[in-house]
A and B are shown apart, each in its own frame.
Chain A
Amino acid sequence: QKEVEQNSGPLSVPEGAIASLNCTYSDRGSQSFFWYRQYSGKSPELIMSIYSNGDKEDGRFTAQLNKASQYVSLLIRDSQPSDSATYLCAVIPPTGGGNKLTFGTGTQLKVEL
């Protein structure tokens, strides 16, 4: 079983719609969860982090965490063409040190006009 799993997509949504991206993780003790956005040919950039069950909102982005079900999701409201990118879910597992991230393979989002 992969440690962090994401649907590779592409996920296509019309402009102005809500995009919903999901991620599951295998290590129940994981405490820190991140969503990175990566444009084609560019480096990842952090857009959301969450560590408590529930929702965390930042502008058009909402991260949702459910530790009992071991999933974390990212909602993008009022999707814009500029949101078209690959979204990487990352987790810090409980074992080991070094603040190491384990990444999923990413979900490609396409926002269509």
Chain B
Amino acid sequence: NAGVTQTPKFRILKIGQSMTLQCTQDMNHNYMYWYRQDPGMGLKLIYYSVGAGITDKGEVPNGYNVSRSTTEDFPLRLELAAPSQTSVYFCASSYPPRGEPSYNEQFFGPGTRLTVL
């Protein structure tokens, strides 16, 4: 199993450009998440999905969009990139919560480092 994969690893965008960050998982997880991590900070949830066709906003959704057409894929779209979106983006996935917290483990992808200039 590859786990959670993300592409690209690095990207530099100009202000106003758009791009899609790709995320794929092969663990048949229903739940998927997008986080951003700014330097020296914890992770903040952007969007999440509890299954194909179902998405919801997290803590910092402005400037982003998501879609979930399959169980495996959860792309994150940046429209009109701004310097404030310079960050490291992590995608994660998990099973639905089932009692013990260990069953709620979120598995993270390697991240995409995005710079907006």
Which residues of chain A have a CB within 8 Å of any CB of chain B? 4, 8, 32-34, 42-46, 49-51, 88, 92, 97-106
What would 23 A/B residue contacts be, using CB atoms closer than 8 Å? A4-B42, A42-B110, A43-B90, A43-B109, A43-B110, A44-B43, A44-B90, A45-B108, A46-B106, A49-B100, A49-B104, A49-B105, A51-B100, A92-B101, A99-B31, A99-B104, A100-B33, A100-B45, A103-B44, A104-B42, A105-B40, A105-B42, A106-B42
Contact flags B80-117 to A (C-beta < 8 A → 1, else 0): 00000000001000101100111011101111000000
Q: Are A97 and B50 in contact (CB under 8 A)?
A: yes
* New contact pairs (20) apart from A45-B108, A49-B100, CB-CB < 8 Å: A32-B104, A43-B108, A43-B109, A43-B111, A46-B106, A49-B104, A92-B101, A92-B104, A99-B31, A99-B94, A99-B104, A99-B106, A100-B33, A100-B45, A101-B45, A103-B42, A103-B43, A104-B42, A105-B41, A105-B42
Query: What does the 1/0 interface line of B60-88 toward A look like (CB < 8 Å)?
Result: 00000000000000000000000000000
Contact present for A46 and B42 (CB under 8 Å): no
> Chain A residues with Cβ under 8 A from B43's Cβ?
44, 88, 101, 103
Interfacial chain B residues near A42, Cβ < 8 Å: 110-111
Is B26 interfacial (CB 8 A cutoff)?
no
* Bound form: Cα–Cα A103–B41 in Å: 9
Question: Is B101 a contact partner of A49 (Cβ separation < 8 A)?
Answer: yes
Q: How far is the CB of A88 from chain B (nearest CB, A)?
A: 6
Name the contact of A100 in the complex, choosing from B48, B96, B109, B110 (C-beta under 8 A): B48
Q: Does the CB pair B106–A49 fall under 8 Å? A: no
Query: Once bound together, how far apart are the Cα atoms of A105 and B37, in whole Å?
Result: 9
Nearest residue, chain B, Cβ from A103: B42
